[in-house]
Structure 1
Amino acid sequence: MDGTSAFYSKSEEAIEREVIAGGHQTDQSQIDVVYEINCCVEWIKNAGFLRVALQFPDDLMKDAVSVTTRLETLLPTGYTVFILGDTSYGSCCVDEVAAQHYNASALIHYGRSCLSQPVKMPVLFVYGRLPLHIDDCICKFSCLYPDVTSSVIIVYDTVYLYTCDEILNKLQSKYENCVMSTIRGEGTSADTTDGEPGKFKTITKCGRTISLPGDKALSEYSMFYIGGESLTLNNLIYNFQSSQFFSYNPCTKEGRRENVNVNKLLMKRYFMVEKAKDAKIVGILIGTLGVANYSDMLNRLKVLTKKAGKKSYVFIVGKINVPKLANFMEIDVFVLIACAENTLLDSSEFYKPVITPYEMELACNTEREWTGEYPTDFGQLLEGGSHHQSIPDTFHQDETDISLVTGKIRTLGHGDDNIETGQSLVLRSEAMTVATQTESAGEFLKMRSWQGLEQQLGETPVTMAVEGQKGIAMGYSDEPT
């Protein structure tokens, strides 16, 4: 072929127009290839999974019935596949909880993925195949890197995984220092070594594995991303922080340098850290139930905030939006436990800041210092992770600093001898300790005009049940036609 994807019968331009416009149903003749039907059938049959849940993102739900019908046709009698409805959190994460509600023995996740590792059930990832003109991609790469000695690491959105081998083979004939990342054990020719000890070192970030020569550092490489503007791109920029970050958008066929001031982005996030240091009441948001070790991160945040002298509440609200969090105005700051891509939530529209677990660690853990790195995967903060830092048993009583937001003196931990009231400092007593920790939430709830359902047991008169309206909302049976 001439560099175009071989499995599409339509012209590439027509397909790209569909992708940009929101897409249409995949042609029935291409379902088997795009959704790797034969691979799915073999995986189900070999493992003997009798009930398999199929998870589709919103943009692929249009093909869900066709994929399910095709699987049912090829599977023997006794095997059941079914489609999961709307996921409670991000569609890039595996919705193991919904699958368990329907007694699924395994799950197939279709579409792009954040590469978070599930733990509760076997999962097969089918990333899909969006169209990519390989020759055009290589041409744009050559324009962005005219020096053939450039050291470049290629990363990509998961939907372009199928093109990696061909792209790398064509580039390495000219660019000897070009390295292709791999994901979830999906190998490319970049993985192979001659077995010589110490010749290569392996770096894993954002679910991607990179093999580099032992004498070269990650900072010596430029980054080249294949994919459009997305949470994936933002996540990679935060984690790799390369001085040069280029991208190629397969939909628009545009190659460009990402004009991202990483330091400016980090300073915006560091402002959130200052807000977290000032916070007295912290809301811990559960943004995923399908990422490994999320409960360990929850327990760690509870311990951390308690030792820092802050009160914490846990919230499970499903997909997060402004109206949901606006119901909890007594919370000073929210910390979101989610996958690496969804944790960097833009909280500019929210009434209170929404920060990451790492930012909460910077605010509360006196043993942690900011080195300039910015891990978005909370698993790296846990024991055994690359950015783990133990929580001190107690905070030093004399550790105080000045808030960069309010300009007032603040302290951390239960050992504080003083508390802040207005512009002055007064001696903390045992009674006042309780009062200051509960004042914000308690007083706010008392002032609410709506305080929730009250049971009023024994106070409500008993009445006979009566028959209500029948029909549908647009025309009940007792309404005139």
Structure 2
Amino acid sequence: MESLDDVQHDQRQQREAQRKLGLPTNYRFEIDKCIKRIKEKNARRVALQFPEGLLMFSIPIADILEEATGSEMVILGDVTYGACCVDDFSAAALGCDFLIHYGHSCLISIKDCIVANMMYVFVEIDIDVQHFIDTVKALVPADARVACIGTVQFISSMRAGLRVLQEEHFIHPVVIPQNRPLSTGEVLGCTSPKVNPAEVDSVLYVGDGRFHVESFLIAHPDLSALQYDPYKKTLSQETYATAEMRALRREAVEKAKVAQSFAIVMGTLGRQGHPRVVDRIIALAQRHGKRVTLLLMSEIFPQKMALLEDVDCYIQVACPRLSIDWGYAFDRPLLSPYEAEVALGNAQWGEEYPMDHYSRAGGNWAVYTDKSL
């Protein structure tokens, strides 16, 4: 774990390098590393993929990389919600022999992608670590038993701040949980690390917005979280209406139990859909005598799904948060893989809603676990 001085020195060097390139000084696009890798692989055509929040920098970065390497750059402009949307299929179809995915962690294994060469650039964002330290010292008791999580952009800064807080403030060791293959402390909207509520008083979340911290709160209904927003420089108490969410999702599951026909939708936005999960759910539904129709969709909208006739229930294999956050907007139950397993009698409705979609230790509905029935 780097010291605060090391981090601040590294931030100054990074800002100067980015300034010379005309890019934001606090965003780590790792331009030198990208150039080196492209040259090492003798890449002819390189696909660049950005989430919408970084798309504004795509053309300057493409120009810089083209000039430095002589390789052709192709920008993939389709919406990118997360690392699950890595679009190696489109990159390969365009004849690209290298893919660089910006803004997310290594969720989809490089060895599973069909493009010959690939790299992830997290785009870590430098924050005011000293302000984070001072804020926590002022508002979180020294004797609190703290766990800390964050999004991948802020993990390095978070760890640097925690090292100082451990030395100068907290009495008990700070817990930084991990849910592999995620980085230590990293939380996704669909996958959260687990902590023991009996061993933790306070949970610190470093990141902006609510989507990721909600994942942790869904998985830990008895905990709340303190969110440090690096942009607003605020510390706020965050909660989630878990009981209301669980009631809505339980109602959808109960309706699905008596359904006779299912539309199973596999998401095709990058790598969002997972054929193994789809095959498992189809086999499980057919075992129970259900009629099954398989659909492929890049994005799943209520208006489009409502056009389907002779279907009692939808099961989507794309993102579990689509069911949790937007299930109420659909005209028929929209189940996640976990909820489908419950509705089809192959899993129990637990006291905690599992947020383990990409966990190596996830349930049978998760991406990386054994799908055999």
Shared topology, TM-score over 0.5?
yes
1:133 aligned onto 2:124: no
Letter in 2 for 1:375: P
Letter in 2 for 1:177: P
1:106 aligned onto 2:136: no
1:74 aligned onto 2:88: no
Q: Which moved more, 1:161-170 or 1:318-327?
A: 161-170
Separation (CA, whole Å) in 1 of partners of 2:332 and 2:144: 44
Looking at secondary structure, tell me which structure has more helix per residue. 2
Separation (CA, whole Å) in 2 of partners of 1:384 and 1:82: 33
Separation (CA, whole Å) in 2 of partners of 1:187 and 1:326: 39
> What's the counterpart of residue 29 of structure 1?
22
Q: 1:223 to 1:46 in 2, by over 3 A?
A: farther
Q: Which moved more, 1:177-186 or 1:326-335?
A: 177-186
1:374 aligned onto 2:365: no
The partner residue of 2:86 within 90, 94, 101 is 94
Shift in Å, 1:169? 1.7
Separation (CA, whole Å) in 2 of partners of 1:185 and 1:336: 23
Separation (CA, whole Å) in 1 of partners of 2:166 and 2:198: 21
1:277 aligned onto 2:257: yes
Deviation by residue 1:125-182 (Cα, 9 ceiling, x = unmatched): 2222445322232233334421x23222211122223413321221211224213356
1:360 aligned onto 2:360: no
> What's the counterpart of residue 316 of structure 2?
336
User: TM-score, normalising length from structure 1?
Assistant: 0.63
Identity among equivalent pairs (%): 25
Give the aligned length: 353
Shift in Å, 1:90? 3.4
> What's the counterpart of residue 55 of structure 1?
49
Bigger radius of gyration: 1
Shift in Å, 1:68? 0.5
> What's the counterpart of residue 173 of structure 2?
177
The partner residue of 1:220 within 199, 203, 215 is 199
Q: Secondary structure at the match of 2:208?
A: coil
User: TM-score, normalising length from structure 2?
Assistant: 0.80
Letter in 1 for 2:291: K
Q: 1:389 to 1:271 in 2, by over 3 A?
A: farther
Letter in 1 for 2:81: G
CA RMSD, Structure 1 to Structure 2 (Å): 3.7
Q: 1:277 to 1:375 in 2, by over 3 A?
A: same
The partner residue of 2:299 within 319, 326, 334 is 319
Separation (CA, whole Å) in 2 of partners of 1:299 and 1:311: 14
Deviation by residue 1:172-226 (Cα, 9 ceiling, x = unmatched): 11224213356888978x9xxxxxxxxxxxx99966778x9xxxx4652242211
Whether the 8 Å contact between 1:71 and 1:81 is mirrored in structure 2 is yes
> What's the counterpart of residue 16 of structure 1?
none
What are the ranges of 5 or more consecutive residues in structure 2 without an aligned counterpart? none
Separation (CA, whole Å) in 1 of partners of 2:139 and 2:261: 48
Q: Secondary structure at the match of 1:304?
A: helix
Q: Secondary structure at the match of 2:153?
A: helix
Letter in 2 for 1:245: A
The partner residue of 2:224 within 244, 247, 255 is 244
> What's the counterpart of residue 428 of structure 1?
none
Q: 1:387 to 1:65 in 2, by over 3 A?
A: closer
Shift in Å, 1:70? 0.7
Separation (CA, whole Å) in 1 of partners of 2:366 and 2:240: 32
Letter in 2 for 1:318: S
> What's the counterpart of residue 58 of structure 2?
64
Deviation by residue 1:289-338 (Cα, 9 ceiling, x = unmatched): 64488110010010111112221111112112222112114322211112
What are the ranges of 5 or more consecutive residues in structure 1 without an aligned counterpart? 10-25, 191-202, 392-481
Q: 1:105 to 1:208 in 2, by over 3 A?
A: farther
Q: 1:360 to 1:257 in 2, by over 3 A?
A: same
> What's the counterpart of residue 124 of structure 1?
119
